[in-house]
Structure 1
Amino acid sequence: MIRQARPEDTEAILNVWLLASLQAHDFVPAAYWWRQQEQMRARYLPSAEVWVCEREGEVQGFIALAGDYLVALFVRPDCQKKGIGKALMATAKRLRRQLTLKVFCENDIAVHFYRRHGFAITEEHLDPGTGQPQLCMDYDSP
């Protein structure tokens, strides 16, 4: 079930984010992700519209939107390849006609996922926090 996040979901969302970030971004030192947890808790999640995918009473993935910007789409590693990301993306597209996001170039799985869902690369730049190249991608509803 996909539903809007509640305050009591925060710890589960942070757990999903950390586990998925560590797995998907192994080219960034793990310490970077551990240090970002408080920013996620105090800054990013409270300022975003967050939706979770809950199955069997557990948060297994989430999306976070700030206006038309897709701040985050993460699925717990042990729950991937089960359609959760696809369902979360469908929710984002239902909520917004246009979406923009940033994704690390080396995160091939995510880049392909977003391309399959109609996103196009608009530019590339270096992420200031990690020094890693990132792609900016846009989606416009047909």
Structure 2
Amino acid sequence: MITKFKNEDLRDVVDIWLQSNITAHHFISENYWKSMLPEVETMLPMATLYVNIVDGKIVGFIGLDDNHIEGIFIHPDHQSKGYGKDLLEYAKNIYSTLTLNVYDKNVRAKKFYLRENFEIVEESMDLINNEKDLVMTWSKI
């Protein structure tokens, strides 16, 4: 079940954010993600968040800033079960266009978004982590 984030979800959402980033971004130091926790704990409640709840437990969430996907985060124990696709479909039903950024080395995420009809429209460098960053877009046909 997908539902809007509630403040009491914050601890679970922050944990999912950290665990999924460490797993997905093996090319970035784990310490970087841990150092971002205080900022993330402050910023997450300000974004539009939808959580995916399975058997009473949050397994993942999507963060949006208008039609820009800040990220889809699925706990590593629950990945490859369709929960990220469900969250993406939820966002596609709200917006007629979506954009996002993904690291080029995050091959799994890049393949997922390409499979979901996103297109790469721009490449740049994330100067903080010195990694190639891709801008991807999707539009309803």
Which residue does the alignment assign to 1:28? 28
Consecutive unaligned residues of structure 1, counting only runs of 5 or more, are none
Matches within 5 A, 1:86-101: 86-101=85-100
Which residue does the alignment assign to 1:10? 10
Matching residue's letter, 2:97: Q
Matches within 5 A, 1:108-123: 108-123=107-122
Cα RMSD, aligned residues only: 0.8
Consecutive unaligned residues of structure 2, counting only runs of 5 or more, are none
1:31 is paired with a residue whose SS is helix
Which residue does the alignment assign to 2:84? 85
Correspondence 1:37 to 2:37: yes
4+ long deviations beyond 4 Å:
none
Quick check: 1:64–1:73 contact (8 Å CA) kept in 2? yes
TM-score (normalizing by structure 1): 0.96
Identity %: 33
Q: After the TM superposition, which of the residue ranges 83-92 and 123-132 deviates more from structure 2? A: 123-132
Matching residue's letter, 2:12: A
User: Shift of the alpha carbon at 1:68?
Assistant: 1.1
Quick check: 2:7–2:45 contact (8 Å CA) kept in 1? no
TM-score (normalizing by structure 2): 0.97
What's the CA shift string for 1:84-113, capped at 9, x where partnerless?
A: 011001001011111110000000000000
Matching residue's letter, 2:126: D
Aligned length: 141
